[in-house]
Chain A
Amino acid sequence: MGFPPEIILEAVLNGLLTGAVYGLVALGLTLVYGVLHIINFAHGALLTMAMYAAYVARDALGIDPYVAALPLAGLFFGLGYAVQRLVIGPASRGKDENILLVTLGLSIIIENLMLAVFRSDTRSIDVPYAMEVVEFGPALLSYPRIVGFGATILVGLALFLLMTRTATGKAIRAVAKERTGAALVGIDVAHIYAVTFGIGTACLAIAAALLLPSFYVSPRVGNAFVLVAFTIVVLGGMGSVVGALLGGLVIGVVESLSGLYLGDSLGQIGIFLIFILVLLVRPTGLFGARA
């Protein structure tokens, strides 16, 4: 309709590339939901924090975000582990409604901390490759998005190997479906919860490093991404890792195409239309288990 095929192709490809990083943000959310059975309302605030961390690494220390990604992932794994083990776990006393409030409280604290430290200015970093494009047939693709896509695939692969090949990964999957049985074979459930939360937070750190070259940072920036991530989690199926990654790609393409046809400012309408449609037609999502 109206647009030449190259333009549509370019929009689809750019949507896929952006969607991969959306999927990475959703991955942490769905992993924590799938194993701990809680919705982590601090996910957006933790993403904001990770983006500021990547910002500081570049602005104060001169470290390129792509170089900082792995150290930040390690740092945020530790942070997520500690938050679950020392704050969320003890404060919730095994009641899900308490966890909801604790993570909500955490997000308020983190956001205001960021506001106090960095003020409400939107900030961005200046890297030479931010605006670079790569020719792909007739389409021009943004370099930071290509890197984001590749890195997300690598993270997905690493997670797959972790979950299927290591004792810890098997323990995580075991705890997700059968806590009592897990405890009886000697799995420390509280430790596995914290490891899972740590992995989810580490995914955010990598996503933050991938987003930073092309997005602004502000104290509430994480929420915009997490709103999209919630849609992806529902589309992919609550708790499904594959669903999060594929759902991210779908949502990226939807956003890109609706931006093309409806204008940039209305691009997100398509995402929420999908959200409502999924809830109406297939509430378990594409890869979700039936209740």
Chain B
Amino acid sequence: MLEIRGLEAGYGLATVLRGVDLTVPAGRIVAVLGANGAGKTTLNMAISGLVPPRAGTITFEGRRIDGLAPPAIAAAGLVHVPEGRKIFPNLSVRENLDLGAYRRAQGNRARNIERVFATFPRLRERMRQLAGTLSGGEQQMLAIGRGLMAEPRLLILDEPSLGLSPLLVEEMFALIRRLHADGLAIMLVEQNVAQSLEVADEAHVLENGAFALGGTAAEVRADPHLQRAYLGL
């Protein structure tokens, strides 16, 4: 579904991604793990067109999308829920969700809003409230809900558990499982290695702008290098 080959990207003189290869098959959860500064967020930004790739190709459902602007990529159904949520603080919860369908699935907006409210009942309660006044966990729900409004073909979740309480982190991973059970392909970018490996089908570990190891989640979990570097075992 998503094929990345030899991707290089960076900012100014700094190169962050040095030849990344990654495949996300339809209907799978692929976890991209890595420490701070490994290039996880830059990878996401390059996929969604916020950072122009310097080399390599990105193919989504058979179509080259590297070099396209973010609206065209969103229109193709590759929906990115960014790190830090990036919700619209000056708009109501309802308006944030409306804008999730700005480029896609406008016709199903009413039905999809009901679905989002069924998934996140808290958002229904706060429908008219300004999004900037929500708690961190509610903002994360809104960011994901806004992404779901576009009926994504592939959902990129960047650090969805960051800054959430342990209880909410559990809920977040339960939600990711549910979305996956509905058949959605998910690229999950996380620092939370243990829980990501539990939900993911495959995992890849980014180090210094390139993948250091990858495979099925079970293989990666058993890898001695990962255990030393990230799990402290």
**Distance in angstroms between the alpha carbons of A187 and B89 in the assembled complex:** 16
CB neighbours (8 Å) of B90 from chain A are 173, 176-177
Q: Is the CB of A187 within 8 A of B99?
A: yes
Tell me the chain A residues, 183-222 only, with Cβ under 8 Å from chain B: 183-188
B200 CB–A CB distance under 8 Å: no
Which residues of B lie under 8 Å from residue A155 when comparing CB positions? none
Q: Is A188 touching B69 in the complex (CB atoms < 8 A)?
A: yes
Give the number of A-B contacts (CB < 8 Å).
68
Give the complex CA separation of A167 and B99 in angstroms: 7
Question: Which of B98, B99, B150 has the most C-beta atoms of chain A within 10 angstroms of its own C-beta?
Answer: B99
Q: Which residues of B contact A174 (CB under 8 A)?
A: 88, 91, 99
A180-B50, A180-B82, A181-B82 known; A186+B88 contact, CB < 8 A: no
Interface residues of B in 68-91 (CB under 8 A from A): 69-71, 74-75, 79-80, 82, 85-91
Q: List 18 A-B contacts (CB under 8 A).
A: A170-B95, A170-B98, A170-B99, A173-B88, A173-B90, A173-B95, A174-B91, A178-B86, A180-B82, A180-B86, A181-B82, A184-B48, A184-B79, A184-B80, A185-B102, A187-B99, A187-B103, A188-B69
In the complex, chain B residues whose CB is within 8 Å of the CB of A177:
88-90
Closest A residue to B85 by beta carbon equals A181
Contacts A167-B102, A171-B102, A178-B89 given; does A185 touch B50 at CB 8 Å = no
Tell me, yes or no, whether B104 is within 8 Å of chain A by CB.
yes
Closest to B75 in A: A186
Of A170, A180, A181, A186, the contact of B103 (CB 8 Å cutoff): A186
Say yes or no for A182: interface residue by CB 8 A criterion: yes
Residues of A within 8 A of B153 (CB): none
Tell me the bound Cα distance from A170 to B101 in angstroms. Answer: 12
Question: A126 → chain B, closest Cβ, in Å?
Answer: 46
**Inter-chain contacts of A184 with B (CB < 8 A):** 48, 50, 70, 74, 79-80, 82, 86
CB distance from B210 to the nearest CB of A (A): 25
Complex contacts, B150 vs chain A, CB 8 Å? 185-186
Q: Given that A170-B95, A173-B91 are contacting pairs, would A186 and B86 also be in contact in the complex, using a CB cutoff of 8 Å?
A: no
Are A171 and B99 in contact, with the CB atoms below 8 A? yes
The CA-CA distance from A182 to B98 in the complex, in Å, is: 12
B146 at the interface (CB under 8 A from A): yes
Q: Kindly provide the distance from the CB of A240 to the nearest chain B CB, expressed in whole angstroms.
A: 11
In the complex, whether B100 has a CB less than 8 A from a CB of chain A is yes
Q: Is the interface of B mostly helix, strand, loop or mixed?
A: loop
A176–B91 CA distance with the chains assembled, in angstroms: 11
Nearest CB of chain B from residue A183's CB, rounded to whole Å: 4
Residue of B nearest to A188 (CB): B71
Inter-chain CA distance A186–B75, complex, in Å, is 7
Contact assessment for B91 and A170 in the assembled complex, using a CB-CB cutoff below 8 Å:
yes
- Give every chain A residue within 8 A of B91 (Cβ-Cβ): 170, 173-174
- Give Cα A180 to B70, complex, Å: 9
Residues on B with C-beta less than 8 A from A182 are 88, 99
Nearest A residue to B89 via CB reads A177
- Checking B79, B88, B103 against A178 with a beta-carbon cut-off of 8 angstroms, the contacting residue is B88
User: Bound state CA distance, A133 and B71, in angstroms?
Assistant: 53
In contact, B70 and A186 (Cβ under 8 angstroms): yes
Q: Chain A, 158-172, contact with B by CB distance < 8 Å: what is the 0/1 string?
A: 000000000100110
Do residues A185 and B69 form an inter-chain contact, with CB atoms below 8 A? no
Q: Which chain A residues lie closer than 8 Å to B49 at the CB level? A: 183
Chain A residue contacts of B50, Cβ below 8 A: 180, 183-184
How distant is B165 from chain A, measured CB to nearest CB, in Å?
Answer: 23
A187–B75 CA distance with the chains assembled, in angstroms: 10
- Closest chain B residue to A179, Cβ basis: B86
Complex Cα–Cα for A187 and B101 (A): 10
Instruction: Name the interface residues of A40-90: CB closer than 8 Å to any CB of B.
Output: none
Q: In the complex, A183 Cα to B48 Cα: how many Å?
A: 9
Chain A positions within 8 Å of B88 at CB level: 173-174, 177-178, 181-182
**Cβ B82 vs Cβ A187 within 8 A:** no
Please, which residues of chain B bring their CB within 8 A of the CB of A187? 71, 99, 102-103
In the complex, what residues of B have CB within 8 A of residue A181's CB?
82, 85-88
